[in-house]
Amino acid sequence: MKADLHEILSQYEIRSYGICDFRQISSFLPCRNQEQIPEEAKSVIVCAFPYYTGEYPQANVCKYAMVPDYHYVVRRLLNQACAALSEAFSAQFVGFSDVSALPERECALASGLGFQGVNGLVIHPQYGTFFVIGEIVTDYLFPFDQPLSQTCLHCGSCVRRCPSGAIAQTGIDYSRCLSAITQQKGELSPQEQELMQKNGLIWGCDCCQNCCPHNQNLPITHLSAFSEDVVPIVNEENLSSLMKTRAFGYKGKKLLRRNLEIINRKPK
Binding region for ligand B12 (CB under 6 A) out of 137-145, 178-186, 225-233, 260-268: 178-186
* Min CB(1)–ligand B12 separation in Å: 26
Query: What does the DSSP assignment read for 162-228?
Result: -TT--EETTEE-TTT-HHHHHH--SPPPHHHHHHHHHHT-SB---HHHHT-GGGTTPPPPS-HHHHT
Residues 1-40, mask of contacts with ligand B12 (x by CB under 6 A) = -------------------------x--x-----------
Binding region for ligand B12 (CB under 6 A) out of 81-89, 96-104, 231-239, 250-258: 96-104
Q: Which of 69, 204, 223, 259 binds ligand B12 (CB under 6 A)?
A: 204
CB 70 within 8 A of CB 101: no
Is position 250 an interface residue for ligand B12 (rule: CB under 6 A)?
no
Q: Give burial (CB, 10 Å; 0-12/13-18/19+) of 170.
A: exposed
Tell me how many residues contact ligand B12 (CB under 6 A).
Answer: 31
* Min CB(135)–ligand B12 separation in Å: 9
Q: Which of 83, 91, 120, 148 binds ligand B12 (CB under 6 A)?
A: 120
- Helix H or strand E encompassing 258: helix 253-264
Rounded CA separation 105/95 (Å)? 16
Dihedral angle computed from the Cα positions of residues 55, 209, 131 and 54, in that order, rounded to the nearest 10 degrees: 10
Is position 216 an interface residue for ligand B12 (rule: CB under 6 A)?
no
Q: Give burial (CB, 10 Å; 0-12/13-18/19+) of 85.
A: buried
Which lies closer to ligand B12 via its Cβ, residue 89 or residue 227?
Answer: 227
* Min CB(268)–ligand B12 separation in Å: 26
The footprint of ligand B12 (CB under 6 A) covers 26, 29, 62, 64, 97-98, 100, 103-106, 109, 116, 119-122, 129, 131-133, 172, 174, 177, 179-180, 183, 204-206, 208
